[in-house]
Structure 1
Amino acid sequence: MHINCNGTLINLTEPRVMGILNCTPNSFFDGGKYRDETLLLQQAEKMLAEGADFIDIGAYSSKPNAEFVSEDEEISRMVPVVELILKHFPDALLSIDTFRAKVAEASINSGAAIINDIAAGLLDDAMLPTVGRLKVPYIMMHMRGNPQTMVKLTQYDDIVQEMLLYFSERIAAARHQGIEDIIIDPGFGFAKTLAQNYEVLNKMELFDMVGLPLLAGVSRKSMIYKLLGITPQEALNGTAVLNTISLTKGAKILRVHDVKEAVEAVKIYKQLTCI
């Protein structure tokens, strides 16, 4: 189970950690915190030093009811950050959190390695052909609607069954466009109620039948802080708990704000599975 990142084969039989780096002014947890070049580089260096295998860069907040950002604005935010990080850390493997093909292509042409699409190609018809042509790994997430509408689209008869059908269809569409390295993301917090998020987590091992690596992104999300009656800033412990559960359920990539703690969870999990 490998993915090809800019010519480097990354083995996903062992869990990996993906650090989140938002260059948006309105992310739910760290909005605006890393818009300054010095702070961006400090955070990237910190995540790499703590053991991040990938850095996932976002330039358009996908939090519920997030405001619209133009394609040109997203590119103007994203590409300079990619270039800045790779100038100082040329071996860093950068993932691009976008649902737009033009943003994806501009970022890959600037040296990024992976495309992370919350919409699995459904919000831009050019996304799958573009990724197929670029020959890069593709993370496809489950979501309904878009960030502005998803909170109203939480009606399911059988959420896991419907998600499996969704992934089956999107994987077939991606394969048709020549995309070889695919990772699936259940999309915690996207078009799902708090209870539905925990149902999906509880049954996450069922996604093994898809036969592809699984990414879990639960870091400091509302499924933690709303349940516990705390803030995102207080949700590190809850995040560590859910990251550990995700590993036992088959996650191969943990997408996190806090790299050190996730790397420790992976180390403990690996030791446990070796016994």
Structure 2
Amino acid sequence: MQRSITGCSPPLPHTPPQPGRCLVMGILNVTPDSFSDGGRYASTRRAIGHGMRMARAGADLVDVGGESTRPGARPVPLREELARVVPVVRELTLAGVRVSVDTMHAEVARAAAEAGACMVNDVSGGLADPCMAAAVRDADIPYVITHWRAPSREMDRHAVYDDVVSEVIAELTARVEAAVAAGVRPSRIILDPGLGFAKTSRHDWQLLSNLGALRATGLPFLIGASRKRLIHAALQAHGTHDTEADGRDAATAAVSALAASEGASCVRVHDVRSSLHAVYMASAWATANGAR
């Protein structure tokens, strides 16, 4: 069973929908250095156009980010991130698209919420900016808390675990407690195990094969596996070597179906249509099993 992303009544502009299935969040990188699209949507005009295309393809949310979090990426000045993100959020919202903001910075989260964003997706889980929880509290919108240990340029050095599943859950729980202590309502919180963030592909697959541990927290959770190196590693293991980032969408959709079947509330993907169809199949599968 998917746990819903709470506080999501469709008539309210600052809340995402509750369609009774795993949500599909489309990734919109307004950056020149994304690992997956090579800066294809770095201009405001192109970013808005792509966001509209994802919405027409069925995205429940479009996640707008102005700072790459790929391994080795360098930080972006705050003024530049604001300039990249806020106009796109505003125009998509005015066009009726439900928008999430992908940022680690409280000032960007506040500005995006004022421009119409209905969710904050913080890949640092509040560790990068101690003011983030207050920004989310004040905006009173859903908050994705991701497992994270270090900035992109050094995160691979922190991919050391004795038991990755239990340690990720424990560290996420600590971030949830910190957010709640700062005034964020528990009903607004969504977890993300942070695939690829301070984790090897082996760690990622261990987390994906143990999603019951995330279900056991009682909080909704999001899975962001799209086009990442865990996909590439699995394909390579089976002899598939021609898998550039945008050639991994069918495999990503398979992970989306599996994650939805295991109770994920949302999948974050580059190719919306294939993963939307995948979660439809997961929903049909669950309905048929429940009717036995």
TM-score (norm 2): 0.89
1:31 partner letter: G
Match of 1:71 in 2: 78
- Equivalent in 241, 244, 248 of residue 257 of structure 2: 244
- Equivalent in 154, 165, 171 of residue 176 of structure 2: 171
Q: Is there any run of 5+ residues in structure 2 with no aligned partner, and where?
A: 236-240
1:120 partner letter: G
- Is 1:59 the counterpart of 2:66? The answer is yes
Q: C-alpha separation between the residues in 2 aligned to 1:36 and 1:9?
A: 25
Match of 1:211 in 2: 218
1:157 partner letter: D
- Whether the 8 Å CA contact 2:14–2:116 is kept in 1: the answer is no
- Is 1:264 the counterpart of 2:277? The answer is yes
- Whether the 8 Å CA contact 2:48–2:88 is kept in 1: the answer is no
- Equivalent in 24, 27, 35 of residue 28 of structure 1: 35
Q: C-alpha separation between the residues in 2 aligned to 1:164 and 1:44?
A: 32
Q: C-alpha separation between the residues in 2 aligned to 1:203 and 1:154?
A: 18
- Is 1:80 the counterpart of 2:87? The answer is yes
- Whether the 8 Å CA contact 2:147–2:192 is kept in 1: the answer is yes
Q: C-alpha separation between the residues in 2 aligned to 1:103 and 1:7?
A: 16
Match of 1:131 in 2: 136
The offset of 1:68, in angstroms, is 1.9
1:191-202 pair list within 5 angstroms: 191-202=198-209
2:53 partner letter: K
The offset of 1:210, in angstroms, is 1.0
- Equivalent in 138, 141, 145 of residue 140 of structure 1: 145
Q: 1:242 to 1:97 in 2, by over 3 A?
A: same
1:51 partner letter: G
Match of 2:7 in 1: 3
- Equivalent in 245, 266, 271 of residue 232 of structure 1: 245
CA RMSD of aligned residues (A): 1.5
- Whether the 8 Å CA contact 2:44–2:87 is kept in 1: the answer is no
Q: Deviations over 1:140-181 (max 9, x none)?
A: 100111111111101111111111111211111111222120
Q: C-alpha separation between the residues in 2 aligned to 1:12 and 1:203?
A: 25
TM-score (norm 1): 0.94
- Whether the 8 Å CA contact 1:23–1:31 is kept in 2: the answer is no
Q: C-alpha separation between the residues in 2 aligned to 1:73 and 1:98?
A: 12
Q: 1:144 to 1:263 in 2, by over 3 A?
A: same
Q: Deviations over 1:76-97 (max 9, x none)?
A: 111111122223x1x2211000
Match of 1:42 in 2: 49
- Equivalent in 147, 150, 156 of residue 151 of structure 1: 156
SS at match of 1:21: strand
Q: C-alpha separation between the residues in 1 aligned to 2:283 and 2:58?
A: 15
Q: 1:214 to 1:262 in 2, by over 3 A?
A: same
The offset of 1:13, in angstroms, is 4.9
SS at match of 2:17: strand
Name the count of aligned residue pairs.
Answer: 273
Q: Deviations over 1:223-242 (max 9, x none)?
A: 11133232212111211121
- Whether the 8 Å CA contact 1:214–1:253 is kept in 2: the answer is yes
The offset of 1:12, in angstroms, is 6.8
Q: C-alpha separation between the residues in 2 aligned to 1:182 and 1:171?
A: 8
Identical residues among aligned pairs (%)? 34
SS at match of 1:3: coil
Q: Which is further off, 11-20 or 47-56?
A: 11-20
The offset of 1:26, in angstroms, is 0.4
